[in-house]
Amino acid sequence: MKSQYIYPLVLASIASFAAVPVAQADEFSDWLKIDGFGTIGAYRGTSNVAGVRTEQRQRVLSYKDWRFDGDSQASIQATLNPHGKLKAVVQLISKKDVDGSNKPTVEWAYVAYPLTSEIDFKVGRTVAPIFVLSDYRNLNYAQTTARPQSEMYQVNPITFQDGVTARWDKKIGSGNLQLEGFFGKTKVSVAGGDVDLNRVKGLSLKWGQDSWSVRGGYSWYNASIQAPTVEANLKSLMSLPAVVCSNCSSVIAAVAPTTGITATIGTLGATYDDGEWIAQAEWAKRDTNSVVIASVSGWNALLAKRIGDFTPFAGIGSFSTDAAKPSLAAGPFAPASVKAQLNYLNASYVGTGDSSRDVMSVGVRWDFAKNLALKAQLERAKMKYPAVGASNGFYSYETSMLGKPSGFDGKVSMFTVNLDFVF
């Protein structure tokens, strides 16, 4: 049965369970557990010409205006038979998406069963175990910072996959080794378009001991993109006569396919938390055969210290587009305007932009009450190629390569105030 039929049935069952009168709650506590979490957030950019967003799965941008639809979300999770071997989990998240809707979406919906004390399986919609924060990427309360660092998570916006996940846990000495494998498919909607990911598969290896945890992963998938604007631009370029663009047809076909895209992602991260000091470092690299979903890499490092109820933190990071630039060449009768356009398309990976950047962030978390945390954070980004422009991802600004200066000097900041809670 297809997922669009399975999930509503599961959710309807959960809703009927949740409607049981409070007086009967004790009767059902052994087979139904309800958890919730969310964020009330506000953010503001600092530039008139460069917009910022809290994640690339949203279309909204802030220039110098306060917005309240970035990190803000409300989520609920239901676990059936929480104390038994066979259990089912459904997690709903309500957060503004790329279409501007806050309609709740199914983030998790799976059935889990342990084959042995060390091996368990999950079938359905599960988390994609790719990054250090993957297991609680949407649970902002469990994170030191306001949100996962963009320079890492722009490498891969996948948060879940529909398929099968298997995990092996083994205690070795005073540490614990965890090997996780997954296979399935998913779809990601970002500001630039929709990406269908098929045959998503990967392995994740995690080691934890005392205050330390190290996680590495490798995944690979096939992808296709539905982005009408991008596809129309590519089609127009391929139709240019050779006297205007001598190699547009062959180069676009070779470097910018929108279907049959293959990609691999390697990740490595480590965390340290002794109750007082918190340290985190992570690196990721994506390699593909298309500049439409370009080869990129990113890294970040974070240091924080708990001082009573306060946790000040500071972080640095970098994001780079690693793909080779296209080599579109003007034909013998190309006018100056076309030559300028081709120069821009080469620098911007056929118009998809280049948001390579270095980022610094500072902030503080205040745990002022049980299950409540207030966070203030300032991120400052320095774009490596501000003249090229960017139209999606976490930053958006016009190019200065087509004769009209954008007025952007490459520096932009974002200030965030979030209230995170769990219940």
- Dist CA 417 CA 39 (whole Å): 10
Q: Which amino acid is at 370?
A: K
60: number of Cβ within 10 Å: 16
Q: What's the pLDDT score for residue 27?
A: 55
Q: What is the CA radius of gyration of the chain?
A: 23
**Which domains are seen in the chain, by residue range?**
34-422 (2.40.160.10)
Whole-number Å distance between alpha carbons of 253 and 235? 10
C-alpha dihedral, 191 to 196 to 200 to 204, nearest 10°: 10
- Phi/psi-derived region of residue 352, left when phi > 0, alpha when psi is between -120 and 50, beta in every other case: alpha
In sequence order, the 6+-apart residues with CB closer than 8 A to the CB of 46 are: 64, 412, 413, 414, 415
pLDDT in tens, 370-416: 999 999 999 999 999 999 999 878 999 999 999 999 999 999 999 99
Read off the pLDDT of residues 285-321 as tens digits, 9 standing for 90 and up: 999 999 999 999 999 999 999 999 999 999 999 999 9
| Structure confidence at residue 379 (pLDDT) | 97
Distance CA 230, CA 240 (A): 16
Q: What is the pLDDT of residue 16?
A: 41
What is the tens place of the pLDDT at every residue in 15-46?
Answer: 444 444 544 445 567 889 999 999 999 999 99
CB 351 within 8 Å of CB 297: no
Q: Are 62 and 414 in contact (CB under 8 A)?
A: yes
Residue 10 has pLDDT above 90, yes or no: no
- Confidence (pLDDT) at 57: 80
DSSP states of 111-167: EEEESSSSEEEEEEEEE---STTGGGSS-GGGSSSSS--HHHHTS----EEEEEEEE
CA distances from 234 to 31, 197, 317, 363 (A): 54, 21, 32, 42
- The burial class, CB within 10 Å (0-12 / 13-18 / 19+), for 26 is exposed
Please compute the mean of the pLDDT values over residues 148-161 and round it to a whole number: 87
112-116, 125-129, 317-321, 340-344: lowest mean pLDDT where? Answer: 125-129
pLDDT tens-digit map of 181-234: 999 999 888 777 789 999 899 999 999 999 999 999 999 999 999 888 888 889
* pLDDT of 252 over the 50 cut: yes
Between CA 129 and CA 33 the distance in angstroms is: 24
Whether the predicted pLDDT of 6 surpasses 50: no
pTM, two decimal places: 0.88
Answer yes or no: is pLDDT of 142 > 90.
Answer: yes
Tokens of 203: 């392995």
Nearest Cα neighbor of 348 from 412, 406, 411, 284 is: 406
Instruction: List, for residues 43-100, the tens digit of each pLDDT value.
Output: 999 999 999 999 888 888 999 999 999 999 999 999 999 989 999 999 999 998 887 8
Mean pLDDT for 339-363 is 95
Question: Rounded to whole angstroms, how far apart are CA atoms 182 and 180?
Answer: 7
Dihedral through CA 284, CA 287, CA 288, CA 292, nearest 10? 50
Dihedral angle computed from the Cα positions of residues 53, 147, 322 and 356, in that order, rounded to the nearest 10 degrees:
50
Closest residue by Cα to residue 419 from 153, 39, 67, 21:
39
SS3 37: strand
